[in-house]
Structure 1
Amino acid sequence: MDGVVTAQDDASTVMDAGPLPTGTAEPVKRVPLTPLIGALWLSETIAAFGSSMTYAATRSLIAAFGDPVSIGWLVTLFLLVGAAATPVAARFGDMFGRKRVLLVVLGIGGLGLAIGAATDFYPLVLLGRALQGLHLAAMALSFGILRECVSPARLPLSIGIVLSAVASGTLSAMLLGGWAADLYGWRAVFALGVIGTALAWSALALFVPAGPRGKDSGPVDMISIWLSVPSIAGTLFVVSNLRSWGWTNPALIGILAGSILLALFWVRHSLRTPQPLIDLRLFARKQVLIINIVYICASFGAFQVILLMSMLMQTPAFTGIGLGVSAKAAGLATIPAAILSLAAAPLGGMLVQRIGGRAVMILSGLVMTAGFLFTARWHDSLAIVTFGFSFITIGTTMLYAAGPPILIAAVPTDRTSEALGMMTVLRALATAAGAQMVAVLLASDTVSSPTDPTTHFPSGAAFSLTFLVMIILSGLTTILAYAIAPRGDADRTAQDLRQPATAIDHALSLDSIKER
């Protein structure tokens, strides 16, 4: 990975550097790949650290604030702000320069971490977690930078390496963050985040080129921001709290209705505006649509593996299926899967280079399906369940690595981060809804505790039903991946998308609908 990408006049170098970003005149400068990818890997590591850090400090946080619900809000607010801000930040990156926006995103998130490290006043800690949620936009911006700076031949592997940072961030949060919380309290975990953010920010400033600005599209479309941010946050809040609040809760119904109404206005505005901030017409393109459907299906299914396996490990043995291990032992059992993810993401990128993203997604689906079939049949010991969990995780990680290169090839250069950001949002919404689905399936049949009849745990029948649904969804993910265009067709699609207009843009415009 010590090579460089240059943009000179000779044809071979220009081909290696890939097409220049739409609406720019300046070529990408000479870029050493190792420090570039290292800087992006650090930024994604700190984003993943933020997603898991509160779990590592749960005991210390409960001791400080005395209420598990309060701790839940530290997680929820982080996710709500991150999901809502990601598409806007990603689109700003396309318009104003991805490095610039990524530095701003990391800086604001680092400020949030600093607030958490400096105070134990709960409202301020909540504010800090909300600001830190902006770190979730790092992945979409990082992949956009990779498209700017890395040759098409090296792009899939580069994406896989950066994706491995998800596992490294999770591991560092659970191990290093847990150690810091035990010794010095929960504020030490926030302090570690500040240090990590400072390192990532410095690496980005030093080793990532400024990159081109997007083409001038006039004033920023603020209406899209006012419509998209609350609609995304409201929808995610609803699907995350359906089981605890109940389907008939008036507040939840009101939030859902308001979110849907805003989303409808957002769609209408996006279709009517020539240059919307977030162009929803982009997601009706066949390749983009299929990729997102594949990820939505996997989010309902295989991406729930950690939730399902943790429940299986911690469910008491008297249920006839659970292993009855402690939460700490269950957490330790996830470490092999996280370590394998560090290798599986680059492996997925290498395979995308060799056999194409479509083939890797199909292979990933087969691995996930086989893993669930194995664990559904054999789950009598912690070692066997850990093996099954790790095997499934290899499939999910490779699926993560295969999708972005396909999506990048299917969208215009100046909409790259936008498309990746919206994919992140759709995946977050589907994952939250999938978690609710798994909870409902596991609650479909329960066994009462012998010592406390009011306490219920999932029965063997509930786990069997849940595994069956996971197997079906993983198989469906595999089937859907067949609909993705082969590599040659995808290349031709990407060539077409660099044209200024396409037939589908006209077909989706309101003027065209009125004509018909």
Structure 2
Amino acid sequence: MQNSKQQAITQHTSKPGVILAVLAAAGITSSLTQTLVIPLVGELPKLFAADPSVTAWAVTITLLTGAVGMPILGKLADTYGKRRMLLIALLPLIVGSVICATAPNITMMILGRGLQGIATGMVPLGISLLHDVLPPKRVGTAIALMSSSMGIGGALGLPASAAVIQYVSWRGLFWIDFAIAGIIFVLIFVLIPKPHHTPIYAPFDFLGAIGLGGALLCLLLGIIKGSSWGWSSAGIIGLFVGAVVLTLLWGWWELRHTNPLVDLRITRRRNVLVTNIASIFIGFAMYAQSLLLPQLMELPTSTGYGLGQTMLQMGLWMAPSGFAMMAVSSLGAKLTARRGAKTTLICGALVMAVGYGCASLLMHSLIGLMISSCIGSMGTGLAFGAMPTLIMNGVPPTEKASSNSFNTVMRSIGTSVSSAVIAAILAGTSITVRGSSIPTLTGFRTGLLAGCLMAIIAAVIALLISAKSQRNAR
């Protein structure tokens, strides 16, 4: 009955294509926000007269606030409505963009970036909302396209940001982000229908939110800062111990709360659990490519293997990968409809592995690396489109947003581990030239093989998903 009401609302307010376009634009905006500061990282110490270890937080803080904010937004969305929480998630992005654009010092820049990071939760919220407001026959393709919006935003963010910095100003980056976020807010408010939703008046699990937030902060901060602080330092060991202790206490509390932030009884269901585990490895494999290929393109040709591209040129070479990810979304939806989301996830992971294999063989060619990045992104698009379907088919309607957000957190953990491992591989194989540390060809090849291995492991794990998840149930 509720689904029929939702579909009736959709048909009388907005066309499915309009809904998909608006939510996909929101996802692209969220992803673009994560990458727009990357071309600026090297300039931040000069702009704010601050130490590089401090300015690096302009990137780190968005990963942390995004990971902590996603499960909270997801739970609130299941309680008070996904459309409402999408609008609320845009507010810190809008405010954060203004703070960054006018930041007089690095402290305000980090504060603004932290607020922007909260908007990362828009992608899983948008995917869950699509499942509620679109006709069943449109859901599969829509979810795949919405999932690919993260790749599109990331691919477009690098060249667009580099161009704005070069031809306008770095502050212009954030004013543009502010304008785009404001437009998306208006479009969602006007064009996205209000699904029939009765708020579930239950006490919010504040202690669970604090516990999960604390555990994620300790874990991700330990992973991100391990190489710079030292993996055996007291600070890093303390963070990892704190993460374990807080996770155990949080799990004990969640199993006893009447309205837990994350229903662990649901997340330990076989298909949900296996999908979440596979997501960690998919996140690793996806992020390793975005770390390795740009560096390889930008290293000077004097190294013998670098391709000597500027930041803008590198971004343009990588941009097609985002469109490849979008192009494969409809194919992924058809594969899921015919063979099931499990098959799509396995195929996606294996295609990612092929992309890494091609990159390791074509490291001296810009065209070869572009093709390799497109293959890897196509695999990522297939996998990203399958995972939300597997999650939402395995949970009750009242847990769709929170469970999908938690799955995205698992991918975030994978990307953080990827960042630490790839950095360690490149640092461990670097050589010093004129006082500068330069990654070697062996380091890049080892990193590519590590990404390939993680993708293969994800495919093997996905084999453990039971056959009943093959149904593309609404």
TM-score with structure 2 length normalisation? 0.91
Find out whether 1:7 has 2:11 as its counterpart.
no
Deviation at 1:318, TM superposition (A): 6.1
The CA distance in 1 between the partners of 2:94 and 2:172, in whole Å, is: 14
User: Are residues 1:468 and 2:449 paired?
Assistant: yes
Letter paired with 2:139: L
Q: How far apart in 1 are the matches of 2:11 and 2:397?
A: 17
How far apart are the structure 2 equivalents of 1:196 and 1:210? 22
Distance 1:186 1:316 in 2: 25
Q: 1:137 aligns with which of 102, 121, 145?
A: 121
Deviation at 1:468, TM superposition (A): 3.1
Q: 1:38 aligns with which of 18, 21, 24?
A: 21
* 2:330 paired with 1:349: no
Name the SS for the 1:247 alignment partner.
coil
User: Alignment RMSD, CA only?
Assistant: 2.6
Q: Is the 8 A contact 1:307 1:435 kept in 2?
A: yes
Query: 2:440 aligned with 1:459, yes or no?
Result: yes
Q: Which residue is equivalent to 1:54?
A: 37
The residue type equivalent to 2:252 in the other structure is: R
- Whichever residue aligns with residue 25 of structure 2, its letter is L
C-alpha distance in 2, partners of 1:373/1:133? 33
Asked if 2 retains the 8 angstrom alpha-carbon contact of 1:102 and 1:141, the reply is yes
Contact between 1:54 and 1:75, CA under 8 Å: does it hold in 2? yes
User: Is the contact between residue 7 and residue 29 of structure 1 (CA under 8 Å) also seen in structure 2?
Assistant: no
Q: Which residue of 2 aligns with 1:253?
A: 237
8 A contact 1:29–1:209 mirrored in 2: no
1:90-141 CA distance string (max 9 Å, x none): 1000001111111111112211112222342332222221111110110121
Where does 1:108-507 land on structure 2 (aligned, <5 Å)? 108-213=92-197, 216=200, 218-315=202-299, 321-449=305-433, 452=434, 454-486=435-467, 488-491=468-471
**Equivalent AA in structure 1 for residue 94 of structure 2:** G
Structure with max Cα Rg: 1
Equivalent pairs counted in the alignment come to 471
CA displacement 1:351-394 (0-9 Å, x = unmatched): 32343212212221221222222222332322222222221121
> Following the alignment from structure 2 to structure 1, what is the Cα–Cα distance between the partners of residues 53 and 454?
32
Q: How far apart are residue 153 of structure 1 and its match? A: 2.5
1:288 to 1:228, Cα distance in 2 relative to 1, 3 A: same
Aligned mates of 1:462, 1:61 — CA distance in 2: 27
Aligned partners of 1:446 and 1:458 also within 8 Å: yes
Q: Contact 1:313/1:322 (CA < 8 Å) preserved in 2?
A: yes
| Letter of the 1:47 counterpart | S
Query: Which digits, 9 at most, give the CA deviation of each residue in 1:151-173, with x for residues without a partner?
Result: 33221101122233223423443
1:177/1:306 CA distance change after superposition, 3 Å: closer
Seen in structure 2, the aligned counterparts of structure 1 residues 255 and 212 have a Cα distance that, compared at 3 Å, is: farther
Measured in 2, the distance between the counterparts of 1:356 and 1:94 equals: 26
Pick aligned residue for 1:90 from 71, 74, 79: 74
The amino acid of 1:477's aligned partner reads A
Counterpart of 2:4, as a letter, is A
Distance 1:178 1:90, change over 3 A: same
Q: Deviations over 1:53-89 (max 9, x none)?
A: 1124446644421343343111111221111111011
Amino acid at match of 1:377: L
Structure 1: gaps (5+ residues): 9-13, 18-25, 496-516
The residue aligned with 1:20 is none
- Structure 1's 440 and 333: CA in aligned 2 closer, same or farther, altered over 3 A? same
Change (3 A) 1:176 1:317: closer
Residue type matched to 1:455 in 2? S
Contact 1:90 1:418 in 2 (8 A): yes
Contact 1:90–1:417, Cα closer than 8 Å, also in 2:
yes
Q: Unaligned 5+ residue runs, structure 2?
A: none
CA deviation string 1:422-469 (max 9, x = no partner):
1111111121112211222233434443xx2x4343334433433333
SS in structure 2 of the partner of residue 84 of structure 1: helix
Residue-by-residue CA offset, 1:188-236 (whole Å, 9 max, x unaligned): 1111111111111111111112224456352212111121112212211
2: CA distance, partners of 1:108 / 1:188: 18
- Report the CA distance shift for 1:421/1:179 in structure 2 as closer, same or farther (over 3 A): same
Query: Match of 2:37, SS?
Result: helix
Structure 2 distance, partners of 1:364, 1:416, is 23
Residues 1:59 and 1:275: Cα distance change in structure 2 (over 3 Å)? closer
Relative to the length of structure 1, the TM-score reads 0.84
Distance 1:302 1:162 in 2: 17
Give the match's secondary structure for 1:220: coil
